[in-house]
Amino acid sequence: MPSTTRERIVDAADQLIYEHGFEHTSFAQIADSVGISRGNFYHHFRTKNDILDAVIERRLDRTRDMLGAWKADNDTPLGRIRAFVHILIDNRALIERYGCPVGTLCAELGKLAHPARGRANELFVLFQRWLRRQFTELGCGDEAGPLAMHVLARSQGVSTLASTFQDEAFVRREVDDLENWLLQFSANNPVH
Amino acid sequence: MPSTTRERIVDAADQLIYEHGFEHTSFAQIADSVGISRGNFYHHFRTKNDILDAVIERRLDRTRDMLGAWKADNDTPLGRIRAFVHILIDNRALIERYGCPVGTLCAELGKLAHPARGRANELFVLFQRWLRRQFTELGCGDEAGPLAMHVLARSQGVSTLASTFQDEAFVRREVDDLENWLLQFSANNPVH
C-alpha cells in the first residue's frame, strides 16, 4: 500500500528532526524532502508544532511495535532486556552520528520548554515500564523499577558518548559490561 | 574588578545557550539580557558563531579550573573521582531543568554538523583525561581509559534521565550505586 502524502510528510519530518534537531528543521526543508508544494503541505499541517505532535505519535506507535516484537521474539525476560541493550550495537552508525532519537528529542524540547515535551517524555516512559515489567518477571520485586531506570540511564550515557567520541570499541565494551551485569539476574532465576 | 562588556555578553550567551539551546538563542535575546544596544553588541561579536566560540573557550577554562580545584581539595584519586560524580547531586536542580551543559551542547552541535563541534567535544575530553589520570593513580593500568569512559557515560545517562523524569530519588540512587562501585578500587589500593 503506497503511503499517503501525510505519512510521507511525517516520515520526512521524523528523519530531519532526528538528524538536525526540531528547532533547526524548517517547513521548507520538510516540503523539499517530500517534494511537495507549500500549499499541499499547509493542507496537511498548519504549524511546525502540529508536525512535531504527529512525529511524536508516530514514534510512540513504532516504539510500542518494537517492544511488542522484542517480546514476541524472545522467550525470556532476560532475552528481552538484552534485545533492548543491543539497540546500541544494531543502531550504532546512526547513534554515532545523531545520538539517541529519544534522548536528544527530550533534551531539546526540555530546553525549549515546549508544550509537546511531556508527550515526548512518554517515549522514555514506554521503555521504562517495559523494562520494569521484564525485571518484575525476573523476580526483582520492588527493585524492578530502579533496575529499569538503571539500564535506561546506562544506555543513554553510552549513546551520548558514542556520538561525541565515535568510538565503537567503547560501545561494545559497555554493552558487554551491561550483559555481564545482567547475568546476575539469570543466576538468581532458575527459569533462565 | 568589574567585568568587561565582552565578558558580560559571553556570560549571558553561555547561560542562554545552556537554558534554551544554541539554535534557539538569538542575538537579540543575548543583547537584551546584557542590556546593550545591537550596535555595541556587533562591536564585540559579528556572528552567533563567534559568540559560540567564546562560550566554548570560557567553558573549557572553567572546566580546567574546576578540575584543578577538585584535585587541590581532595588528597586521593578516589576522592577526586567522587567529586566528579557528586556534580550530579550538587547541580541537580539545573540538571533536572536543562540537562548536562556539556552533553546537551555536544548533542546539539553534532546534529547541526556545526564547525565548533570538535572544540565543544574537547569539554568531554578534558573530563575523560582527568578521570583517566585518577584511575591510573589508583593503579588501574590499561583499564584506566575504559574506566574513565564508563564513569563519564554513567554520569551522562543520569543527567539525561534526570531532566526527563525529574526524580531526585533516582539521581541519589545512581550516585550511591556509582560510589559503591568505586569502593572496589579503594580495596585494591592500600593508599586509600
Q: Is residue A166 part of a domain?
A: yes
Question: How far is B109 from chain A, CA to nearest CA, in Å?
Answer: 9
**Residue among A153, A32, A171, A178 at smallest CA distance from A94:** A171
Residue A60 sits in the same domain as residue A150: yes
CB contact under 8 A, B165 and A157: no
CB contact under 8 A, B111 and A174: no
B2 confidence band (pLDDT: 50, 70, 90): low
Instruction: Tell me which chain B residue has its CA closest to the CA of residue A148.
Output: B170
> Tell me, what CATH number does B42's domain have?
1.10.10.60
Distance, in Å, from the CA atom of B182 to the CA atom of B81, rounded to the nearest integer, reads: 9
Distance, in Å, from the CA atom of B65 to the CA atom of B59, rounded to the nearest integer, reads: 10
Span B92-106, average pLDDT? 96
Say whether A166 sits in a helix, a strand or coil. Answer: coil
Chain A partners of B132 at a C-beta cutoff of 8 Å? none
User: What domain count does chain B have?
Assistant: 2
| DSSP symbol at A2 | P
CB contact under 8 A, A104 and B103: no
- Cα angle at B120 between B111 and B173, to 5 degrees? 85
Residue B161 sits in the same domain as residue B109: yes
Q: How many CA atoms lie within 13 A of B138 on its CB side?
A: 27
Chain B partners of A155 at a C-beta cutoff of 8 Å? 157
What percentage of chain B has pLDDT greater than the value 90? 90
Q: Is residue B149 part of a domain?
A: yes
Helix (H) or strand (E) holding B51: helix B48-73
CB contact under 8 A, A154 and B153: yes
The pLDDT of residue A188 is above 60: no
Span A134-146, average pLDDT? 97
Residue A22 sits in the same domain as residue A105: no
The pLDDT of residue B65 is above 80: yes
Distance, in Å, from the CA atom of B109 to the CA atom of B21, rounded to the nearest integer, reads: 10
Q: Going by C-beta distance under 8 Å and a sequence separation of 6 or more, which residues neighbour residue B135?
A: B77, B81, B143, B144, B145, B147, B148, B185
A191 confidence band (pLDDT: 50, 70, 90): very low
Specify whether the CB–CB gap between B99 and B92 falls below 8 A: no
Q: What is the pLDDT of residue B175?
A: 98
On whether any CB of chain B is under 8 Å from the CB of A20, the answer is: yes
Instruction: Tell me which chain A residue has its CA closest to the CA of residue B172.
Output: A146
CB contact under 8 A, A156 and B156: yes
The pLDDT of residue B192 is above 50: no
Q: Is residue B92 part of a domain?
A: yes
Q: Which of A156, A163, A174 has its CB closest to that of B160?
A: A156
Beta-carbon neighbour count of residue B165 at 10 Å? 20
What percentage of chain B has pLDDT greater than the value 70? 96
ipTM computed for the complex? 0.93
Q: What is the pLDDT of residue B17?
A: 98
B3 confidence band (pLDDT: 50, 70, 90): confident
Specify whether the CB–CB gap between A155 and A85 falls below 8 A: yes
Q: Is residue A51 part of a domain?
A: no
On whether any CB of chain A is under 8 Å from the CB of B172, the answer is: no
Span A91-114, average pLDDT? 96
Q: What is the pLDDT of residue A41?
A: 87
Instruction: Tell me which chain A residue has its CA closest to the CA of residue B161.
Output: A153
Q: Which value, to the nearest 10 degrees, does the dihedral of the CA atoms of residues A61, A14, A26, A112 take?
A: 60
Residue B37 sits in the same domain as residue B62: no
Span A99-124, average pLDDT? 97
User: What percentage of chain B's residues is helix, strand, coil (to nearest 5)?
Assistant: 80, 0, 20
The pLDDT of residue A168 is above 60: yes
Residue A11 sits in the same domain as residue A40: yes
Span A6-15, average pLDDT? 96
Residue B160 sits in the same domain as residue B119: yes
Distance, in Å, from the CA atom of A82 to the CA atom of A96, rounded to the nearest integer, reads: 20
| Lookup: cell for A166 | 565515535
How does DSSP assign chain B, residue by residue? -PPPHHHHHHHHHHHHHHHH-TTT--HHHHHHHHT--HHHHHHH-SSHHHHHHHHHHHHHHHHHHHHHHHHHH-SSHHHHHHHHHTHHHHTHHHHHHH--HHHHHHHHHHHTT-TTHHHHHHHHHHHHHHHHHHHHHTT-GGGHHHHHHHHHHHHHHHHHHHHHH--HHHHHHHHHHHHHHHHHHHHT-TT-
Span A71-84, average pLDDT? 97
Instruction: Name the residue range of residue A29's domain.
Output: 1-46
The pLDDT of residue A2 is above 90: no
Q: Is residue A79 part of a domain?
A: yes
Q: Which of A51-55, A140-144, B38-42, B68-72 has the lowest mean pLDDT?
A: B38-42
CB contact under 8 A, A112 and B21: yes
pTM for the complete prediction?
0.94
B1 confidence band (pLDDT: 50, 70, 90): low
Instruction: Tell me which chain B residue has its CA closest to the CA of residue A123.
Output: B164
pLDDT tens digits, one per residue of A153-167: 999 999 999 999 999
Chain B partners of A153 at a C-beta cutoff of 8 Å? 154, 157-158, 160-161, 170, 174
Q: What is the pLDDT of residue A185?
A: 87
Q: Is residue B33 part of a domain?
A: yes
The pLDDT of residue A80 is above 60: yes
On whether any CB of chain B is under 8 Å from the CB of A24, the answer is: yes
User: What percentage of chain A's residues is helix, strand, coil (to nearest 5)?
Assistant: 80, 0, 20
On whether any CB of chain B is under 8 Å from the CB of A153, the answer is: yes
